[in-house]
Copies of this chain bind each other. A is one copy, B any other.
Amino acid sequence: MLRATQALAHLDLVRPTLLLDAARVRRNIDRMARKAGAAGVRFRPHFKTHQSAAIGEWFRSVGVDAITVSSFDMGRYFQQHGWSDITVAFPLNVREMDAVHQLAAQATLGVLVDSDAAVEVIESHLRAPVNVWIKIDVGARRSGVAWTDPDAVLSLARRLLTTQHAHFVGLLTHAGHSYDAGDRAGVAAIHAESLLRMREVRTRLADAGVAARISIGDTPGCSIADDFGGVDEMRPGNFVFYDLVQADLGACDAADVAIALACPVVGKHPDRNEIVLYGGAVHLSKDALHTGGRTLYGCLARWEGSAWTRPEPRAPLVSLSQEHGVVRLDPEDMDGIGVGDLVTVIPVHSCLTSDLFDEYRVLDGSRIARRQSNQTPLDP
């Protein structure tokens, strides 16, 4: 059923609350760790999705000792929670060289560059040992040196090899265009193509006598593919929770999604088969999934006993304002839900939804703290 009022009664919820199914999170972590192990690829998970020291410990318990983050602030948070090998997988923000030096003094730090301008700043300002990756664009057209320009990559690598404190490690990519691949076959094709392109660039460097590791990152590719030939490291992040986008792509089973937003029902409109939730863009983010000719901002979850089973595509969030969400229901589902009930929304994009909260409420009633972006003071 869609109504979660009884199942959540022990939590005494009065407002939108981010729920976490700990068993699912641990299963998602375990599955990806085993996959990396079987492929002989170093597992350096991205922690930007959960951003929680406590969930980080669940990764440590399966042998993870190196992580990826997307900002120096996030890196500092995890360094303060005992992580000592951290890659900031974001084009180097040259305005943060103080943060580079601070983090490099306390951890093995990796950074990314994709431009002469950033390498120039490293040449002139780097004062602590840092691993440097060159970001490669294998088709996502966001950041990175285009894979079609291996000479530019070689030129950057050569400069890094002669720069004090810089340690050139290799080539890193994020095939983010896999999110637009439509289905599993599309993701698999992009994954295979990305690996070919990365190996091609590496070959060009090897021919010039420059050794380079390869690091890849996207959750769809890492979830679907089994071939990681030539890859030294993988950095998926979203898989820890998954979400509707990943389920829609086939990167996970719908039942793998490990977070949900519990929302009070504040309105019921039988004339249009809609209910109104206390739960809006400030709780879910405004990310949308465009699928099957529809645009949706989440789906209600079906519940059995004390846990949700899966998102119900026939109960989509069809609109979202600052604090309101509107859900369209099958007429037969309307009877079972009333004002004052609780329902749960499976988010479109778990990274953005979870970043809106400073804690997870576990189904057993416990609470797990997390950092949020943009909290002051950011300086130590």
A residues whose Cβ falls under 8 Å from a Cβ of B: 13-16, 18, 48, 70-71, 73, 90-96, 98-99, 114-115, 117-118, 121, 141-143, 146, 176, 264, 266-268, 271-272, 276, 278, 281-283, 285-288, 319, 321-324, 326, 338-340, 342, 349, 351-352, 355-359, 367, 372-376, 378
A375–B358 touching, CB < 8 Å: yes
- Greatest chain B CB density within 10 A among A14, A272, A359 is at A14
B117–A70 touching, CB < 8 Å: no
CB closest residue in chain B, given A112: B266
- A229 smallest CB distance to B (angstroms): 27
Given contacts A90-B323, A115-B339, contact A96 B15 (CB under 8 A): yes
**Bound CA–CA A367/B376 (angstroms):** 11
Given contacts A15-B73, A374-B357, contact A142 B286 (CB under 8 A): no
**Bound CA–CA A356/B375 (angstroms):** 9
CB closest residue in chain B, given A352: B281
**Bound CA–CA A13/B96 (angstroms):** 9
A117–B268 touching, CB < 8 Å: yes
B contact residues around A13 at 8 Å (CB): 95
Contact of A339 among B94, B268, B321 (CB under 8 A): B94
- A333 smallest CB distance to B (angstroms): 17
B121–A374 touching, CB < 8 Å: no
Given contacts A114-B267, A267-B115, contact A323 B285 (CB under 8 A): no
B contact residues around A141 at 8 Å (CB): 272
A-B contact pairs, 12 of them (CB 8 A): A14-B95, A14-B98, A90-B266, A91-B278, A93-B278, A115-B268, A142-B276, A142-B326, A143-B266, A283-B374, A286-B287, A358-B374
B contact residues around A91 at 8 Å (CB): 266-267, 276, 278
**Bound CA–CA A342/B95 (angstroms):** 9
**Bound CA–CA A359/B271 (angstroms):** 42
B contact residues around A356 at 8 Å (CB): 356, 373-374
CB closest residue in chain B, given A121: B340
B176–A321 touching, CB < 8 Å: yes
- A346 smallest CB distance to B (angstroms): 17
**Bound CA–CA A80/B13 (angstroms):** 23
B contact residues around A324 at 8 Å (CB): 90, 142-143
- A176 smallest CB distance to B (angstroms): 7
B contact residues around A121 at 8 Å (CB): 340
B contact residues around A48 at 8 Å (CB): 322-323
